[in-house]
């Protein structure tokens, strides 16, 4: 691998980690003024407005045409974009941003579990099952549940976030079941549009009302989430997958919580608990076990791409 290519990949990796790490803090800031589902829909709206014109310019096949294309778009919109962000924003109402980032680091492990259930070619070994169990145990450590917390609204936050991570893992695997020749960024862009419309309908059904002054801080938060953390970071993420493969790219999920913890401490004064750190270590260990073969092979390979495990 040439030094210029290595620097470019490192820059992409750092950008994704910083963008997604900061997104959890931006969500926490915006939730002080906006209802969660409407806020999540706004994020997807802005990202779709930015990305769709770009994919029209970049790709010849920029729109869904076949049944497989549309099913992929709907799966991406309903689960990857819509459901994931709805649970994320609702869960973060009562959960610190660093905890949310750690719980979402469970996504690659859950994707492995869903792939085993939905894709006939996927198999889980005993060690991989152990990795899945460790991942879920890590979430329990982060949540640190007590009988009092389980009976309170605040105690539900980590488990709502777990639903978001599961939604992301399930949607990612589900899109692989459908036959489509569209580039991933194209289906993602259309999925963001569909997901945003879906969440606006959910927000209306929940009776959410937006009656707040649109301060500069709130506008910056929404713009950051839509443009930087979604449109920009998604594009960089898929470029990383094309260049270094899915497993090595998934390692960014374990840098994001570190970025979030630092940003949350610096910007909004959040503290990092021992339970959060311990849970993160357990979840990362679970990921290493579930993806051990592909991860080792990918890290040994200095160039080219790799396939999903």
Q: Is residue 306 part of a domain?
A: no
Per the prediction, the chain carries an average pLDDT of 85
The model carries a pTM of: 0.85
Q: Is residue 131 part of a domain?
A: yes
Tokens found for residue 231: 């449109």
Total domain count for the chain?
1
Q: Is residue 307 part of a domain?
A: no
- Which of 240, 272, 278 is closest to 19 using CA atoms? 240
pLDDT by residue (tens digit) across 209-221?
Answer: 887 778 888 999 9
pLDDT by residue (tens digit) across 271-302?
Answer: 888 888 888 888 888 888 877 766 666 556 54
Q: Is residue 305 part of a domain?
A: no
Coil/strand/helix, residue 106: coil
Burial of 127 (0-12, 13-18, 19+ CB in 10 A): exposed
- Residue 267 structural domain: 3-300
Q: Could you tell me which residues come within 8 angstroms of residue 26 by beta carbon, excluding any fewer than 6 positions away? A: 221, 224, 225, 229
> Which one has a higher pLDDT value, 140 or 231?
231
Q: Is residue 211 part of a domain?
A: yes
Reported as half-sphere exposure (CB side, CA atoms, 13 A), residue 97 has a value of 26
Task: Please provide the DSSP assignment of 154-214 as one string.
Answer: GGGHHHHHHHHHHHHHHHHHHHTTS---S-HHHHHHHHHHHHHHHHHHHHHHHT-------
CB 147 within 8 A of CB 107: no
Q: Is residue 308 part of a domain?
A: no
pLDDT by residue (tens digit) across 245-276?
Answer: 766 777 788 888 889 988 988 888 888 888 88
- Which of 31, 25, 47 is closest to 197 using CA atoms? 47
């Amino acid at each position: 691998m040439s030094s210029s290519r290595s620097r470019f990949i490192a820059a992409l990796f750092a950008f994704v980690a910083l963008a997604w790490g900061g997104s959890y803090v931006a969500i926490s800031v915006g939730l002080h003024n906006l209802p969660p589902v409407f806020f999540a829909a706004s994020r997807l709206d802005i990202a779709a407005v930015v990305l769709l014109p770009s994919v029209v310019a970049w790709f010849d096949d920029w729109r869904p045409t076949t049944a497989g294309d549309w099913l992929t778009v709907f799966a991406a919109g309903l689960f990857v974009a819509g459901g994931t962000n709805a649970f994320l924003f609702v869960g973060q109402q009562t959960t610190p941003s660093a905890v949310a980032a750690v719980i979402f680091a469970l996504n690659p492990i859950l994707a492995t579990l869903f792939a085993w259930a939905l894709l006939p070619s996927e198999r889980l070994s005993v060690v991989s099952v152990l990795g899945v169990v460790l991942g879920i145990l890590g979430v329990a450590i982060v949540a640190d549940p007590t009988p009092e917390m389980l009976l309170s609204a605040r105690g539900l936050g980590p488990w709502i976030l777990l639903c978001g991570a599961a939604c992301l893992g399930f949607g990612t695997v589900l899109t692989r079941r459908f036959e489509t020749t569209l580039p991933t960024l194209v289906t993602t862009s259309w999925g963001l549009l569909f997901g945003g419309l879906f969440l606006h309908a959910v927000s209306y059904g929940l009776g959410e009302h937006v009656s707040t002054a649109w301060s500069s801080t709130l506008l910056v938060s929404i713009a950051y989430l839509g443009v930087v953390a979604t449109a920009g970071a998604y594009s960089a993420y898929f470029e990383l997958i094309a260049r270094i493969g899915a497993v090595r790219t998934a390692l960014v999920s374990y840098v994001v919580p570190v970025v979030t913890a630092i940003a949350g401490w610096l910007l909004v004064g959040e503290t990092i608990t021992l339970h959060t750190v311990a849970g993160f270590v357990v979840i990362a260990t679970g990921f290493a076990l579930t993806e051990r073969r592909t991860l080792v092979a990918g890290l040994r390979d200095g160039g080219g791409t790799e396939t999903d495990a």
